[in-house]
Amino acid sequence: MNVHIITIGDELLIGQVINTNASWIGEQMILHGAHVVRTVTLPDDQVLIQKELHHSSTHADLVIVTGGLGPTHDDVTRDAVGSFLDAPLYLDETVLQAIQQRFKKYNRPMPERNKVQAMVPEGCEILHNAYGTAPGLWYENASYSLCVLPGVPHEMKGLIQTYLLPRIKKDDRIKPVAQRTLHTLGIGESHLQELLGETKSWLPEEYKLAYLPGLGGVRLRITTSGTDYEDAIIRLRSIEQLIRDKVGHHIFGTDKDILEAKIGDLLKESDLTISTAESCTGGLIGDRITNISGSSRYFKGGIIAYCNQVKQELLNVDEAIIAQHGAVSKQVAVQMAQGVREQLKTDIGISATGIMGPSGGTPDKPVGTVWIGYADGESQFAERILIQKDRRINKKYTVMAALRILWRKLKKRSLQKT
């Protein structure tokens, strides 16, 4: 089943609203065995909407439209659909009563303008909206199916889950699909592909492998289908194992796993505690670690040592070391990590000191120069990274670098114990 997704709204085109609808619908279609071949975003323009409906209806089995079903003058989707289908709009009393009841439920009078939301094209099935005022619409013939939905995300999702997904599951053209995402850390897309090799040599045609680069790592998404869901899962696991055999030491989790949660698991597994000493990141490393419920079991606290005086007084960084090497240096990063570990009496201390920009750089230490320090009872060291982005992105990359170092050390410790 080939699917086209049409999202409508000027606010999407000008960037005022992020188009999360298209990504969510696309994900749901793939997970349920449909094949998304086109996604397009259009303005609130009836002529352009009709033109796209003509195109999509001749190239797709299912066309999904979201947006433009509101009560205001710029909501023209229902008129465009009516014109495209050559179907006059009529006032559906059942829909009107549902809209009236919704306003009554919230003790508000219904504006006269909302009546337009009860206007539906003849020949369309009404998808009753329990989440808002505008109903969804369903039309099908021998060539294609058309599903028209409100643009409000929770309304759209509710209608898709209630009406559309059950219909897709019953479609004979759908093959059960299994999907797995492997999260890698500290490796670029091109290097990862070099390690995996050309997929033609080891990946059968019925499998798809996508590289999804992100902050600090690349996600590998594997997709395949089978005679049934269990068969698809078995096939998926075989390919996953091939990938793990090649790059498993770079993989920290799967699917919805997040790095800070996996770090928390390793800390609990080893019964270790941790503290943070942060300069350039201003507390963001501690923020990530404490995003996890129950992190108080292993995270004892942090010290934000933004100026040198705080580094010296609270973290016991040697003033002479700062004078000789500068606050952004290997030596200071190590002393910060060791200092917070001692001050807060934790097993591990991790630190960050750097130049986030846009000012403050020198020829020897340009903007984006960062040192990440690590200390535990057995070793202490610091790693240098260079991130030449803007200030906010530099901070985020620094946090990811600190978490990567932490995960790598904890993973190594865990493997040594087994």
pLDDT at 185: 94
Q: Residue 63 is which amino acid?
A: V
Distances (CA, A) of 342 to 275, 308, 346, 388, 416: 10, 18, 7, 33, 25
Question: How far is Cα 62 from Cα 139, in angstroms, rounded to an integer?
Answer: 10
Q: Are 161 and 152 in contact (CB under 8 A)?
A: no
Q: Above 80 in pLDDT, residue 72?
A: yes
29-43: per-residue pLDDT in tens?
988 889 999 999 999
109-150: per-residue pLDDT in tens?
999 999 999 999 999 999 999 999 999 999 999 999 999 999
pLDDT at 161: 97
Mean pLDDT of 341-370: 96
pLDDT at 225: 87
pLDDT band (50, 70, 90) for residue 206: confident
Question: How far is Cα 365 from Cα 110, in angstroms, rounded to an integer?
Answer: 64
Non-local (6+) Cβ contacts of 185 within 8 A are 216, 217, 250, 251, 252, 259, 404, 407, 408
Q: Above 90 in pLDDT, residue 377?
A: no
pLDDT at 112: 94
Non-local (6+) Cβ contacts of 405 within 8 A are 350, 372, 374, 383
Question: How far is Cα 414 from Cα 408, in angstroms, rounded to an integer?
Answer: 10
Mean pLDDT of 214-243: 91
Where do we find the tokens 């997040």?
A: 258
Q: Are 279 and 305 in contact (CB under 8 A)?
A: yes
pLDDT at 31: 86
Q: Are 223 and 30 in contact (CB under 8 A)?
A: yes
pLDDT band (50, 70, 90) for residue 205: confident
240-292: per-residue pLDDT in tens?
999 999 999 999 999 999 999 999 999 999 999 999 999 999 999 999 999 99
- DSSP strand pairing (145-149 vs 380-386): unpaired
Q: Are 35 and 3 in contact (CB under 8 A)?
A: yes
Structural domains for the chain: 2-169 (3.40.980.10), 177-254 (3.30.70.2860), 259-417 (3.90.950.20)
pLDDT at 81: 98
Q: Are 121 and 89 in contact (CB under 8 A)?
A: yes
pTM: 0.80
pLDDT band (50, 70, 90) for residue 229: confident
Residue by residue, DSSP assigns 14-63 as TTSS--HHHHHHHHHHHHTT-EEEEEEEE-S-HHHHHHHHHHHHHH-SEE
Question: How far is Cα 10 from Cα 8, in angstroms, rounded to an integer?
Answer: 7
Q: Helix count (H) and strand count (E) of the chain?
A: 15, 17
Mean pLDDT of the chain: 95
Residue ranges in 207-283 assigned as alpha helix (H): 229-247, 259-269
Q: Are 100 and 117 in contact (CB under 8 A)?
A: no
Closest CA to 153 of 256, 27, 25: 25
What is the SS3 assignment for 2?
strand
Percent of the chain with pLDDT over 90: 89
